[in-house]
Structures are given as structure tokens and as C-alpha cells.
A and B are shown apart, each in its own frame.
Chain A
Amino acid sequence: MASAEIDIKYVAHLARLQLTPDEEKKLGAQLGHILGYIEKLNELDVAGVEPTAHAVPMVNVTRPDEIRPSLSPEDALRNAPARANGLFMVPKIVE
């Protein structure tokens, strides 16, 4: 297992989560502590053990490809922080 050193700025960027310098410091120390505890999983031999993603082994749950009722555009936009012309408003993405 990897060392318990986290590049907190890099991970925060991956998570799209802005942290203050104080938060980076505090979170970094706490996570180092938690990862130190998690290291105990290395004590176990897991060779040949299948991973469990899900407790109930169901696969390929499908439904008929039919049109069903869904949220109206008005309901879907009801909680939008910014909207116009029946669309969500976002900052400019492409110049």
C-alpha cells in the first residue's frame, strides 16, 4: 500500500473542491492519521479473493425501452441557480 502522504492540493483539484490553506493543513493531518489506521488492511492476505462491489449479486437489470412519464422541463429547472429560455445557465465554456 502507498505511503500515507497525501498531495492534498492535487486531490482537492481532482475533487473540484476549493480548500482554504487552513483546511488543507488540517485535512492533510487528519487524513494522514486515518490512512495510517487503514494500513491495517495490509495484514490480510487477499490473494485469490474476489472483490465484492455489491452485497446482492444482481446483474444486467434492464427494462423495456419504452417512453415513460418523466420530469417536465419546468420541474427539472425549478431548482436551477440560473436559467434562461428553458435552459440551465453556465459560464462560457468555449471561446
Chain B
Amino acid sequence: MQLNQLTISELTAKLARREVSAREVLQSCLDQIGRVDGKIHAFLSHDADDALAQADAADKLLSEGGSAGRPLLGVPVAVKDVLAVKDQPLNCGSKILGQFVSPYNATVVDKLKAAGAIVFGRLNMDEFAMGSSTENSAFGVTRNPWDPTRIPGGSSGGSAAAVAADEVIAALGSDTGGSIRQPAALCGCVGLKPTYGRVSRYGLVAFASSLDQIGPFTKNVRDAATMLGVMGGHDPRDSTSVPQPVPDYAAALTGSSPDGPTIKGLKLGLPKEYLIGGLDAEVKSAVDAAVKTFQELGAEIVEISLPHTDYAVATYYIIATAEASANLARFDGIRYGRRVDGADPVELYSKTRGAGFGDEVKRRIILGTYVLSSGYYDAYYLRAQKVRTLIRNDFLKAYETVDAIITPTTPTAAFKIGEKSDDPLQMYLSDIFTISCNLAGICGISLPCGFTKNPKLPIGLQLLGRPFGEATLLQIAHAYERGTGWHSEKPPL
């Protein structure tokens, strides 16, 4: 195995023993980027000199025995182009930000750096995180490492593809309606969406503020636990972050026995509403097999009902677009980004936004503005917020009897580039299994659970946990992963 293929726990062990240097690890990632990124296009840019300087600083700390309290010392982590990294470009996959350079770090970036990570690279995404395929990036599509004619998922498609293609050890993404879990499923890596409020969003460019969360992409569940342990926690600079202690998620996976804590006796819910018509037969059989694995591991499977599932996509596209139309008002050509001049401010705003935003962003701004406009607010936005309550209550009721919920992450494996790009509604419906989690504000994880036969494409299993129930969620995912070998398969690059 090459260094760039290793997990966080494997790497940190080697680094602590000084078997390898952080510079060698980073160089191995840079070499892989040079070798495969022309084909994948996961990265929009990366500052190799800055990353190597960080690696040298990590090596200095390692030589001084400084790994205590720094669980990511020397580990390269790349970030989605929606998170601020001081003195690095930030474009959100859009033309409208022009030559924007971040004047400060996002809180998660500060936390990663304090934990010793080498934070580098800008990963491709759907413009302003709006999309499910990364085809909406203004800088070209990212390709799926398992089949370059297919999409990697989205909106964090670059993050998922970079981790799956071993261009980086871990990555950050954001998830508003599935933008971490869906691409993780389609690229065959682990993607975690934490509970709303678990991770500070300071320095994340806002899409839909009541739904957005930042989360990690990793090569296995243990690494996701390590990342969340670093990223989580209250931040006075994000008033929606929750002052609740952050448990040692990674340590909780080890438990008292060498195989980790048992999931014997835990109850897992199988929602009957998720076995829908559009569910691909191979995806269904992979999830059925996963259910059997959980039974063999001693979990009890319970059929449950989430009766408002069918209304989630419609609810989401009202709430998310309404919030987006307000959040994206700040891109007006006055304080930063591109400007197209006009005779007066209103003309300047309209021309700048017309020239700077892509099709999907325009579509959502118009829809969001419409549902909030005078005379329509009650009929659309307020009604959607009430349906949101019903959806959230479905989950809270289910968690009275089950510890987590099992679903497919997506109805199908990765689709072809261009297949759905002319039909926005079909694209929206591909998010059907991931959207409810954001509306309910709970946590969710996607992990590999098999492959389609021909072509060979990854299939993702989604586990949904209680609010702030990440520790249990990760234990369940970890138990499954140990019982199978799907996560260690590599794409043919």
C-alpha cells in the first residue's frame, strides 16, 4: 500500500513511530493528484508550497514528540470550496466570487490545524452546494473514480472523489440535503452528516441556514469518528452550535473488547416507506444483505413507519430555496467578488448576479424568492415549515423504539454525466433518502455496502441516528464495517 492509500489511524501510528515523515505522506498525495486528477478533476486548485510548509512544521512537532493532543498531526485533509481557509481562494464553484481570497479561517479549519492536520486544496462542488452531481460547478464536472463517464454525486462531489481516489486522506464537505452522504455513497467512501448544531459553521458560506452542516469524508468509520471528535463542539461565533460536550467518538469504537463494543440488542428500524418503486434492484439487494449482517451481529431489526417521507422533497425545495434566496443576496458586487457596472445600484446588482450565477443557482433564487413573496408566504413557506414539523416528529417517534434507522443512501448507483442535467425535478428526486435527515436535524452516515455488477459501482448504506447520537451511530456503522470488507475496495485508476 502506498502512503496516500492509508487511513488516518494507520498513518498517525506510522508518523508517531517516525517510520514515515509528514512530508512523505503529503508528497504521496501530491503525486497521486498529479497522476489521476487530470481524469477526475476533484481539485479546483491546491497550494503545494503551503501544504509542504505545513508538513515540515508537522514533522518538526513529531520530532519533538508533539503528537499528544493532536490526533491529526501530519494528516493531509482537503476542503470543499465552500469553507474559508485564510489566504486561500474561495469560490463555491461559482464565477461570482471572482478572485476572492479568504481573510480568515473557518472554525473547523482552525480546529483541524490545531489538531495537526495539513489543510490544503480546494475541492470541486456544485455551485453554492446546489446540486446532486457536481455538474453545476462553474469550473467543470468532477468524474467518478469508479467510472469517469459517471457523476461523483454532489454537491460535495470533489470531496468524495478525492478521498475515493486516494488523492487525500480525508476531506471536508457540507450537507444541506445529502451533499455529504450521497457523493460518499456514489464514490464508495464514508460520509458523515453530524446533527444540526454539532459542528460550528463559522466560515462556511451559507446555503440554507436551518439545514447546513459540515462533515467529514473518510476511508473508514473510525476515521470519521476521529474527524468528528476534532470538528465538533460549541463555537461562540456560530449561535446555532450547541453547547454540548463532545465525546471521544474514536475511543468509543474500541470499547472493552478488542473487537469493539457489541451492537447486540440494539434495535434498528427499517422504514417501509423507503422501499419505493424507483429503488434499483441491486441497491435493494445490497441493503437487504446489510440488514442480514446486522441481524448476524446481534441487532434486532424492526419495521417502522415514517409516514411523511413522500413529502420531504417538496418541503425541502421550499425551505432550502427560500433560505438560499436570502443568503445569496449578499453576492451583489459591492463588497467582494465580480462586479458588472450599472447606472445605479439596482442595475449593478442585477447585472452582476445575472452574469455571475449559473442556471441552477438562478433557478433556486427565483423559486425561493417566489415562495417568500407577498401573497405566497403562507401557502408555501409556512406550510412547508409545518410539514417539516410532521417529518421531524416521525423521526422522534421512531427513536422511541429504535436506536438507529437503516436505509439505502441513494435509489441508484452513480448515473451518467448529462443524464439528469436537463431535468431539475428528476435531479431533486435523486435526494429522496437523504433530505429528511436535514429537515429533522438528526445525524446520518453513509458507508459502502456493496457494488453493482456491470459496471462495478459503489452502493451506499445510510444509517440515521438520534439528535446528538453520533457515538451510537458510529458504533453501529463500525460494527457493520468490521463484518464486511466493502470499504477497502479501490477504484481502478
Q: How large is the interface on B (under 10, 10 to 19, 20 to 34, 35 or more residues)?
A: 35 or more
Q: Are B332 and A16 in contact (CB under 8 A)?
A: yes
Contacting B at CB under 8 A, from A13-62, are 13-20, 23, 27, 30-31, 33-35, 37-38, 40-44, 46, 49-56, 58, 61
Within the complex, which residue of A14, A30, A63 is in contact with B363, where a contact is CB–CB below 8 Å? Answer: A30
Q: Are B387 and A46 in contact (CB under 8 A)?
A: yes
> Chain A residues with Cβ under 8 A from B197's Cβ?
55-56, 58
Tell me what chain A mostly uses at the interface: helix, strand, loop, or mixed: loop
Q: What's the least CB distance linking B471 to chain A, in Å?
A: 18
Q: What's the least CB distance linking A57 to chain B, in Å?
A: 10
**B343 interface residue (CB < 8 Å to A):** yes
Contact with A along B188-220 (1 / 0, CB 8 A): 000000001100000000000010000000000
Residue of A nearest to B370 (CB): A11
Interface size on A, residues (CB 8 A): 53
Residue of A nearest to B97 (CB): A79
Stretch at the interface among B54-62, B161-169, B224-232, B371-379: B371-379
Q: Are A81 and B339 in contact (CB under 8 A)?
A: yes
> Chain A residues with Cβ under 8 A from B428's Cβ?
34
Q: Are A79 and B311 in contact (CB under 8 A)?
A: no
> Chain A residues with Cβ under 8 A from B336's Cβ?
79-81
**B441 interface residue (CB < 8 Å to A):** yes
**A2 interface residue (CB < 8 Å to B):** yes
Q: Are B311 and A40 in contact (CB under 8 A)?
A: yes
> Chain B residues with Cβ under 8 A from A46's Cβ?
383, 386-387, 390
Whether A55 touches B196, Cβ cut-off 8 Å, given contacts A19-B354, A27-B363, A38-B314, is yes
Whether A55 touches B392, Cβ cut-off 8 Å, given contacts A6-B370, A16-B349, A18-B354, is yes
> Chain A residues with Cβ under 8 A from B369's Cβ?
11, 14-15
Residue of A nearest to B379 (CB): A1
Stretch at the interface among B100-108, B125-133, B179-187: B100-108
Q: Are B362 and A23 in contact (CB under 8 A)?
A: yes
> Chain A residues with Cβ under 8 A from B348's Cβ?
90-91
State A64–B330 Cα separation when bound (angstroms).
Answer: 27
> Chain A residues with Cβ under 8 A from B311's Cβ?
40-41, 43-44
> Chain B residues with Cβ under 8 A from A75's Cβ?
103-104
Q: Are B390 and A49 in contact (CB under 8 A)?
A: yes
> Chain B residues with Cβ under 8 A from A12's Cβ?
350, 366
**A67 interface residue (CB < 8 Å to B):** no
> Chain B residues with Cβ under 8 A from A84's Cβ?
none
Q: What's the least CB distance linking A87 to chain B, in Å?
A: 11
Q: Are B375 and A93 in contact (CB under 8 A)?
A: no
Please report B residues at the A interface, Cβ cutoff 8 Å: 98-101, 103-104, 196-197, 210, 236, 239-240, 242, 308, 310-311, 313-315, 317-318, 325, 329, 332-339, 341-351, 353-355, 357, 359, 362-363, 365-367, 369-370, 373, 375-376, 379-380, 382-390, 392, 424-425, 428, 439-442, 467
Q: List 6 A-B contacts (CB under 8 A).
A: A34-B367, A52-B386, A54-B441, A55-B197, A71-B103, A81-B339
Please report A residues at the B interface, Cβ cutoff 8 Å: 1-2, 6, 8, 11-20, 23, 27, 30-31, 33-35, 37-38, 40-44, 46, 49-56, 58, 61, 63, 71, 75-76, 78-82, 88, 90-93
